[in-house]
Amino acid sequence: MRIAYQGEPGAFSEAASRQVAADVEPVPCRAFEDVFAAVETGACALGVLPIENSIGGSIHRNFDLLLQHDLTIVGEVEVPVVHHLLALPGTTLEQIRRVYSHPQALAQCDRFLRTLKNVEVIATYDTAGSAKLVADGKLTDAAAIASARAADVFGLEALKSSIQDFEHNVTRFLVVSQPDQPPLSKARPDKTTIVFTLANEAGALFKALSVFALRGIDLTKLESRPFPERKWEYLFYVDLAAPQDDVNCSRALAHLGEFAPMLRVLGSYPSTKPAARAAARTEETLA
């Protein structure tokens, strides 16, 4: 199964793609737009896209692209993110004058970067791509922030390890496919992602959210994005802790559709359950 992801081998998106299924063939893409194109054309069965990080927040570009393309969310995975400062073998920290990485990774390592003196921080398109840049250019005065796997792939060494601001750093990825594809797994969907617009009037958002609150449906994420075609109006992306075919959920969506000018279900899929994560943390504490 071919799965498109953004970045080079060793990127965290590649790690996410390998979690999706056992028989995957990860296909690197230069940009997020290329991931969507690979799935839409059938070159890849699935695409993996980062949507939010527990430190850096949402990846807004992918929210916008979900609306622009006719693909369906069929799953999600979470990947622990551990960043390392990588350089050519034999390079010392004192030699470093430039640090390359993706803007999200740079933001997640802000505290560490502030400790470096006389070092230029440069944003690039990818963490693993930054490691490749250092390796291919044989840059003895530069380093990249990337994964341990990227170090192995490109023959670099870690000058510093686990440099992210917070120990528990996790990125959530969405898995997308063409709408007519069979389900990704046999697991029953328990999460639904929607996007809608509202009239610009008092109480409109309260009214919209109340259709879920009155039916006991938990909202696990609410994100607003500018509506490009309408100045100072917004799109609202919502994750619902319920499958689309649940009676209460379907009624809530029908109710919302009565007054929302635009409503679209982006996917209903099995989640990475918060309860399971909480139980795992409890086991770690007791161990």
The residue from 177, 210, 230 where one domain ends is 177
pLDDT at 277: 41
**Pick from 80, 81, 84, 82: nearest CA to 161:** 84
71 and 92 inside one domain: no
246 and 105 inside one domain: no
The residue from 130, 152, 177 where one domain ends is 177
In a domain, 22, yes or no: yes
173 and 37 inside one domain: yes
95 and 150 inside one domain: yes
In a domain, 183, yes or no: no
* pTM given for the model: 0.87
- Supply the residues annotated as catalytic: 171, 173
pLDDT at 56: 84
Which CATH number characterizes residue 242's domain? 3.30.70.260
> Which structural domain range is residue 104 located in?
84-161
Count of domains forming the chain? 3
In a domain, 270, yes or no: yes
Which CATH number characterizes residue 90's domain? 3.40.190.10
In a domain, 30, yes or no: yes
65 and 117 inside one domain: no
108 and 248 inside one domain: no
Copy the structure tokens of residue 202.
């008092």
96 and 131 inside one domain: yes
24 and 142 inside one domain: no
214 and 246 inside one domain: yes
In a domain, 285, yes or no: no
pLDDT in tens, the chain (287 residues): 999 999 999 999 999 999 998 889 999 999 999 999 999 999 999 999 999 999 888 999 999 999 999 999 999 999 999 999 999 999 999 999 999 999 999 999 999 999 999 999 999 999 999 999 999 999 999 999 999 999 999 999 999 999 999 988 999 999 999 998 888 778 899 999 999 999 989 999 999 999 999 999 999 999 999 988 788 889 999 999 999 999 999 999 999 999 999 999 999 999 986 533 433 333 333 33
In a domain, 281, yes or no: no
In a domain, 75, yes or no: yes
50 and 121 inside one domain: no
60 and 19 inside one domain: yes
229 and 257 inside one domain: yes
In a domain, 45, yes or no: yes
